C-alpha cells in the first residue's frame, strides 16, 4: 500500500541549487575574504559531493591540502557554512526560490488522500524551514510527519542513512513509501533504503546516471506543462498523480494509503 511520499528538497521541491545555494556559497566566500568562486559548471561538478560543509572541504583540499588538514580547518569550515546558511535563508525569505511545477499540486493531492508526507534531505534544517515557510506558508512544516535533514545522520546521500532515519520515525516499511528525488546521490540513497523512486531531474542533474527508478522524468508536470521522460522504461508524458504512481507500483486505484 502507498502510505507515504518522502520528498527530497534541493532540486526536487525547488531549483534551490541554482537559485539559492550556489549564490549563497559565493556570497559567503566573498564575505569571508576568500577568492573562491563556483561558476555553474564547477558547481554542477561539486554537487557530486553532498553536504555543503563536505563540498567546501573537498574544494579546499584541492586548493591547499595542508591548510585543509590544519587543526582549525573544521572550525573554519563550520564558520563559513554558518555564514552561507544565513545568506541562503535570507535569499529564500526574499522569495528568490519558487517551487517546481507540480510540487504543490501533488502535495495537496497527497494531503487530501491522507497520505503521510516526509522529507529526507542532505541540506541543513534551517534551509528546509526557510523554504517551506517561504513557498508553502508558515504552517507547512506541520504537513510533514518527519523532516530528516543534514547532520542528523553520520553519512549523507548516497548513503541510505537519512531514508532509514525517516522510515524508522514513520514506523513504515520501505515498501509502503515512495521517494521523490532529483539526483543520482539522492536516488541511490533511496534505492539503497529499499524505496521505489520517482526521479524528477533538475537543472544540475539532467545528465546524472540514475539507478533503476520507477520513472525518470524532467518534473512532476502541471496542467498545460506536462512532464516527460521514461515511465517504467517507456516514453511517457503527463502529470504525476497519485493514481499514476499507484498504477506504476501495480497497486489498485482504490489503494488509498493513510
Ligand atoms: C542537496 C545537498 C545540500 C545542498 C547544500 O541536498 O547536497 O548539501 O547542496 O545544503 P538534497 P547545505 O538534494 O538531499 O536536498 O549547505 O545545507 O548542505
Ligand atoms: Mg536533491
- In DSSP notation, 204-226 reads TTTT----S-SEEES---BTTB-
CATH class of 4-15+99-248: alpha beta
Q: What is the pLDDT along the chain (258 residues), one digit of tens a residue?
A: 899 999 999 999 999 999 999 999 999 999 999 999 999 999 999 999 999 999 999 999 999 999 999 999 999 999 999 999 999 999 999 999 999 999 999 999 999 999 999 999 999 999 999 999 999 999 999 999 999 999 999 999 999 999 999 999 999 999 999 999 999 999 999 999 999 999 999 999 999 999 999 999 999 999 999 999 999 899 999 999 999 999 989 887 666 554
Ligand nearest to the CA of 199: 2
Q: Where are the domains of the chain?
A: 4-15+99-248, 17-93
- Site to probe by mutation for ligand 1, drawn from 10, 42, 156, 186 as the one with most ligand atoms within 8 Å of Cβ, is 10
Nearby residues for ligand 2 (ion, Cβ within 5 Å) = 8, 10-11, 182-183, 186
- Residue 17 cell numbers, joined: 541549487
- Closest approach atom of ligand 1 to CA 127: 17
Contacts of 85 (CB under 8 A, 6+ apart): 24, 52, 124, 126, 127
**Which pTM does this prediction carry?**
0.96
Q: Is the dihedral of CA 151, 155, 156, 157 positive or negative?
A: negative
Q: What's the fold here for domain 17-93?
A: DNA polymerase; domain 1 (1.10.150)
Residues tagged active-site: 8, 10
Q: Between vectors from CA 243 to CA 176 and to CA 99, what angle results, nearest 5°? A: 85
Ligand nearest to the CA of 197: 2
Compute the half-sphere exposure of residue 196: CA atoms within 13 Å on the CB side of its CA: 21
Please choose, from the candidates 97, 100, 88, 89, the residue with its C-alpha nearest in 3D space to the C-alpha of residue 23.
88
Only one residue has cell 577568492, namely 35
Amino acid at each position: 500500500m502507498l502510505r507515504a511520499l518522502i520528498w527530497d528538497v534541493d532540486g526536487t521541491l525547488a531549483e534551490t541549487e541554482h537559485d539559492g545555494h550556489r549564490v549563497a556559497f559565493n556570497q559567503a566566500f566573498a564575505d569571508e575574504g576568500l577568492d573562491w568562486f563556483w561558476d555553474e559548471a564547477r558547481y554542477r561538478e561539486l554537487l557530486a559531493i553532498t553536504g555543503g560543509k563536505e563540498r567546501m572541504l573537498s574544494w579546499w583540499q584541492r586548493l591547499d591540502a595542508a591548510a585543509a588538514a590544519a587543526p582549525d580547518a573544521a572550525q573554519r569550515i563550520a564558520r563559513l557554512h554558518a555564514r552561507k546558511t544565513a545568506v541562503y535563508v535570507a535569499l529564500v525569505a526574499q522569495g528568490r526560490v519558487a517551487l517546481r511545477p507540480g510540487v504543490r499540486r501533488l502535495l495537496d493531492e497527497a494531503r487530501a488522500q491522507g497520505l503521510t508526507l516526509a522529507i529526507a534531505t542532505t541540506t541543513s534544517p534551517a534551509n528546509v524551514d526557510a523554504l517551506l515557510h517561504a513557498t508553502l506558508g508558515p504552517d507547512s512544516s506541520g504537513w510533514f510527519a518527519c523532516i530528516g535533514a543534514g547532520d542528523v545522520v553520520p553519512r549523507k546521500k548516497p548513503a541510505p542513512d537519512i531514508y532509514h532515519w525517516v522510515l524508522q520515525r514513520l514506523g513504515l516499511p520501505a515498501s509502503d513509501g515512495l521517494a521523490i528525488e532529483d539526483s543520482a546521490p539522492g536516488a541511490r540513497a533511496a534505492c539503497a533504503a529499499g524505496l521505489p523512486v520517482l526521479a524528477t531531474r533538475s537543472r544540475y542533474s539532467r545528465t546524472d546516471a540514475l539507478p533503476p527508478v520507477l520513472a525518470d522524468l524532467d518534473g512532476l508536470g502541471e496542467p498545460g506543462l506536462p512532464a516527460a521522460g521514461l515511465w517504467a522504461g517507456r516514453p511517457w508524458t503527463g502529470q504525476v498523480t497519485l493514481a499514476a504512481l499507484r498504477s506504476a507500483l501495480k497497486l489498485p486505484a482504490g489503494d488509498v494509503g493513510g
